[in-house]
Amino acid sequence: MLEAFKGHVKKSFPELLSERFLLACSGGLDSVVLAHCCTTMDMEFALAHCNFRLRGEESDGDERFVANLAKSLNKYLFITHFDTIGYVNKNKVSVQMAARELRYTWFAEIMKQQGIDTLVTAHQADDNLETFFINLSRGTGIDGLKGIPPKTDTVSRPLLAFSRAEILEYAKASRLEWREDSSNRETYYLRNKIRHEIAPILNELHPAFQDNFDRTQAYLGDTALVLEAYNKKLRSELFQSENGVVRIEITDLQQLHPLKPHMHLLLKDFGFTAWNDIEGLLTATSGKEVRSKTHRLVKDRKQLLLEKLGYLDTRTYHIHENQREMTHPFRLKIECSDELGETAVNTLYVDKETLKYPLTVRKWQKGDYFHPLGMKGRKKLSKYFKDEKVDVISKDKQWLLCSDNQIVWVVGKRADERFKVRKDTRKIVKFELI
Amino acid sequence: MLEAFKGHVKKSFPELLSERFLLACSGGLDSVVLAHCCTTMDMEFALAHCNFRLRGEESDGDERFVANLAKSLNKYLFITHFDTIGYVNKNKVSVQMAARELRYTWFAEIMKQQGIDTLVTAHQADDNLETFFINLSRGTGIDGLKGIPPKTDTVSRPLLAFSRAEILEYAKASRLEWREDSSNRETYYLRNKIRHEIAPILNELHPAFQDNFDRTQAYLGDTALVLEAYNKKLRSELFQSENGVVRIEITDLQQLHPLKPHMHLLLKDFGFTAWNDIEGLLTATSGKEVRSKTHRLVKDRKQLLLEKLGYLDTRTYHIHENQREMTHPFRLKIECSDELGETAVNTLYVDKETLKYPLTVRKWQKGDYFHPLGMKGRKKLSKYFKDEKVDVISKDKQWLLCSDNQIVWVVGKRADERFKVRKDTRKIVKFELI
């Protein structure tokens, strides 16, 4: 296998012969063989090992094994420890996804730090075939069938041209040692079934099955890239981004046929999965929303608004009589004054005697009303928002300054008639947004 | 199975209960069971049977069988005979493709003639699974994996929800008779292997494999529709169609990443397969072309020209001295006259005494030159075409009127100085394009 590997690297990965790279090494068969082959070819690389702390002493044993391997190969080694389960609980992702995200984020950091452009991973040919059938048995789409690319901008996989059998044979002939991952046993059974039972039948159906399969995966990979180009084009045409909120005209979406798969294409990168609910949003009443783990999509009149989920502050804050400044949830300067100063949208002057302390700062509630400055009578806040065309996301972010739970100021937007400075006002309070 | 079929039709194909439809019937197990089920449900349909004449007496036996079936079910029957092998030889397609094209064209004719909107075919669930693996073993793309849709605008497949085992059981229990197609034996072995060897392993990998597989195929089908929408959008942006020739700016193509899969998407419907050659066209010299069975794609300076292949007339035609009209390859009126009439691009006046009869009408040849009217000296025709920016497709369509093989007229474009009417001209011939 070594000769074939040398030829393959020279032909398809020549840059690995002249540039330093990072080699991801779990200590398992594939990555140990890869590290040995690369060393034999005098390639310049450092090893990177992640201890995910998922298998206790076994994980630590892997780490010690890779540390010894690095010494024996005379290579630099980067090691990190992850609280994988903590990450799983915090981000509500699978263990597999957590390990993946943690690993690739860390690899990217090391590469940036060390000025390294390429990560080399030890995926081999059987991975693609096995993953294809595991995904197929579970139900999947083009992304689950297309296979791992041998090379992307930052990751190279020179072992992808070799089968597990070839790699194992090389390891045995070279008397290499490696670590067996006990958690692989679970998938080991599945992968074995595919390799030893399904693949031979497909080879019988067509003698060039493996080549045809590789071609099929390459073709599906191309198709996925074309879809991604379409996705990018559609987003640039349909998504209007402003202040972290993306606005999408519903009439634009409705021109896409078929609609649901197009919505899926446009929104899958934001973690959405409830496609029926999302389709329902198009005809739902304003304010309805669908959430993914990371984003929310809100119906707002003739648009959908897409926003990254942040912490939405719904607490109530208090302002006491002698308080001269508020820093949370926004900065407000409070001054007592004898006369009116300049009027500005960031500034409110009120008659102090109309206020009941402590004042409160809160978000809007159903049933809220106020007396808009300059108008006779009261107006529902929801009606005010509607007339001012305030979208549902902005509504949720709008703070209200209240006295005895009556709205004094739709902060930064509109004052209330009841609290305004009059001719007979004796003490004025000035609120100024910083 | 019958009860399940009834429920399925009521739920998913209710229109079949109220509208007349055409049922494609080969006489095989699936279509015979389908015809029986539909009759039991009192559905109104006519049978359509194609005799492809591929299996001699066996084909005729199938035809007689379906004729008897129609009588026993008390249904109208449409029958046709195809010269399938003749079609194969003429159109250079596979037997399978020929049968498919012939069949669907004929079905469409019958439906139009009879005012029928829906064709019902007897595809069943195993077809999708088996076709998936046969295509996979041979190498394929998303179109080979996505499966047959249960319903399109014109075709419904109510049996697609049932397995061959269910259909066979029903046929046996109902003591139905059907025809076995000896040519199916070839694929019978493959299909059997898939059904009895691959499917059980996948069921072992995931107990809900069949449902997951159906979901995967539906999802791939959606993805294929999204790709088709992208294709349509790109074509409307990049293809400029004029006089049956589509012009594509090469700089526009080059902005599509990745380029080759995009070219594949844009051009696959025109029968092209030589994708490397097509990619090469982008940087080739003007005039290079790639042909499919139906179209050619020609590099022309900064554009690619796409044209349906037609009959390119390269013959030479003659015009005799007393001839007053030519009808082929284009219409030309020829008059003798004593004086010049109005000048127009469709009209040429020449000095009759400069002509040597018979005149010839032919296409351009390498080395052709002429003396463009109003210019001193001669000019290569290829240079003239270049200066006039005549594209390569138009060049091949350009007729020349010649005398003694010298160009008299680049027809409809430019006259020749040597044949022009002079002060001392005594007899004028007028050529007029009709």
Characterize the bridge pairing of strands A239-242 and A245-249. antiparallel
d(CA B342, CA B67): 70
**Could you tell me the two tokens for A262?**
């197009």
| Closest-CA residue of chain B to A227 | B227
Residue recorded with tokens 């191309």: A222
Work out the percent of chain B whose per-residue pLDDT is above 70: 99
Task: Give yes or no for residue B273 having a pLDDT over 90.
Answer: no
Closest by alpha carbon to A33, among A22, A45, A25?
A25
Task: Give yes or no for residue A76 having a pLDDT over 90.
Answer: yes
d(CA B233, CA B224): 14
d(CA B35, CA B27): 10
- Per-residue pLDDT tens over the stretch A130-174: 999 999 999 999 999 998 888 999 999 999 989 888 999 999 999
The phi and psi torsions of B24 (rounded to 5 degrees) equal: -75, 120
> For chain B, which residues lie within 8 Å of any Cβ of chain A, measuring from their own Cβ?
133-134, 136-142, 145, 190, 193-194, 197-198, 201-202, 204-206, 208-209, 211-213, 215-216, 219-220, 222-223, 225-227, 229-230, 233, 256-258, 260-262, 264-265
| CB within 8 Å of A434: residues ≥ 6 apart | A331, A332, A333
Characterize the bridge pairing of strands B325-326 and B428-433. unpaired
Task: Give yes or no for residue A248 having a pLDDT over 90.
Answer: yes
Query: Which residue in the set B141, B145, B226 is minimally distant from A227, CB to CB?
Result: B226
Task: Give yes or no for residue A183 having a pLDDT over 80.
Answer: no
Residues in A closer than 8 angstroms to B262, CB to CB, are 226, 229
B interface test, pick of A202, A209, A226 with most B CB neighbours within 10 Å = A226
Task: Give yes or no for residue A187 having a pLDDT over 80.
Answer: no
- Per-residue pLDDT tens over the stretch B48-86: 999 988 888 889 999 999 999 999 999 999 999 999 999
- Per-residue pLDDT tens over the stretch B418-428: 999 998 988 99
A31 is in an annotated binding site: yes
Q: CB distance A219–B140 less than 8 Å? A: yes
d(CA B138, CA B140): 7
Total H helices, total E strands in chain A: 16, 21
| Candidate CATH numbers 3.50.40.10, 2.40.50.140, 3.40.47.10, 3.40.50.720; the one for domain A317-433 | 3.50.40.10
Residues in B closer than 8 angstroms to A197, CB to CB, are 201
B interface test, pick of A137, A204, A235 with most B CB neighbours within 10 Å = A137
- Per-residue pLDDT tens over the stretch A266-307: 999 998 988 999 999 999 998 899 999 889 999 988 999 998
- Per-residue pLDDT tens over the stretch B176-203: 999 987 776 667 788 888 888 898 899 9
The amino acid sitting at A323 is Q
Closest by alpha carbon to A287, among A299, A297, A275?
A299
Coil, strand or helix: which one is B272?
coil
Task: Give yes or no for residue A186 having a pLDDT over 70.
Answer: no
A156 is in an annotated binding site: no
d(CA B66, CA B47): 8
Query: Mean pLDDT across the stretch A359-384?
Result: 92
Our CA dihedral for B25, B29, B30, B33, rounded to 10 degrees, sits at 90
User: Are the C-beta atoms of A41 and A67 separated by less than 8 Å?
Assistant: no
- Per-residue pLDDT tens over the stretch A27-55: 999 999 999 999 999 999 999 999 988 88
> What is the structure's pLDDT at A1?
86
Task: Give yes or no for residue B311 having a pLDDT over 80.
Answer: no
Task: Give yes or no for residue A193 having a pLDDT over 90.
Answer: no
Q: How many CB pairs under 8 A join A and B?
A: 125
Q: How far apart are the first and last CA of chain B?
A: 68
> What is the structure's pLDDT at B186?
67
Q: CB distance B227–A225 less than 8 Å? A: no
Quote the mean pLDDT of chain A. Answer: 91
- Per-residue pLDDT tens over the stretch A10-21: 999 999 999 999
Q: CB distance B260–A222 less than 8 Å? A: yes
Q: CB distance B223–A141 less than 8 Å? A: yes
- Per-residue pLDDT tens over the stretch B340-397: 877 788 999 999 999 999 999 999 998 999 999 988 899 999 999 989 888 877 888 8
Query: Mean pLDDT across the stretch B216-231?
Result: 95
Query: Mean pLDDT across the stretch B231-235?
Result: 97
> What is the structure's pLDDT at A94?
83
SS3 content of chain B, % helix, strand, coil (to 5): 45, 20, 35
Query: Which residue in the set B137, B201, B229 is minimally distant from A212, CB to CB?
Result: B137
d(CA A161, CA A34): 12
Work out the percent of chain A whose per-residue pLDDT is above 70: 99
Characterize the bridge pairing of strands A399-403 and A359-363. antiparallel
> What is the structure's pLDDT at B314?
83
d(CA A267, CA A250): 14
Q: How far is B143 from chain A (nearest CA, A)?
A: 10
d(CA B100, CA B124): 17
> If you classify domain A2-208 with CATH, what class do you get?
alpha beta
> If you classify domain B2-206 with CATH, what class do you get?
alpha beta
The amino acid sitting at A257 is H
Residues in B closer than 8 angstroms to A256, CB to CB, are 229
Work out the percent of chain B whose per-residue pLDDT is above 90: 67
> What is the structure's pLDDT at A225?
95
- Per-residue pLDDT tens over the stretch B98-154: 888 999 999 999 999 999 999 999 999 888 999 999 999 999 999 999 988 889 999
Quote the mean pLDDT of chain B. Answer: 91
- Per-residue pLDDT tens over the stretch A214-231: 999 999 999 999 999 999
Query: Mean pLDDT across the stretch A117-121?
Result: 96
The amino acid sitting at B52 is F
Number of neighbours of residue B17 by Cβ within 10 angstroms:
14
User: Are the C-beta atoms of B393 and B289 separated by less than 8 Å?
Assistant: no
> What is the structure's pLDDT at A395?
86
Query: Which residue in the set B140, B198, B220 is minimally distant from A216, CB to CB?
Result: B140
- Per-residue pLDDT tens over the stretch A194-217: 888 898 899 988 999 988 999 999
- The residue extents of the domains of chain A are 2-208, 243-308, 317-433
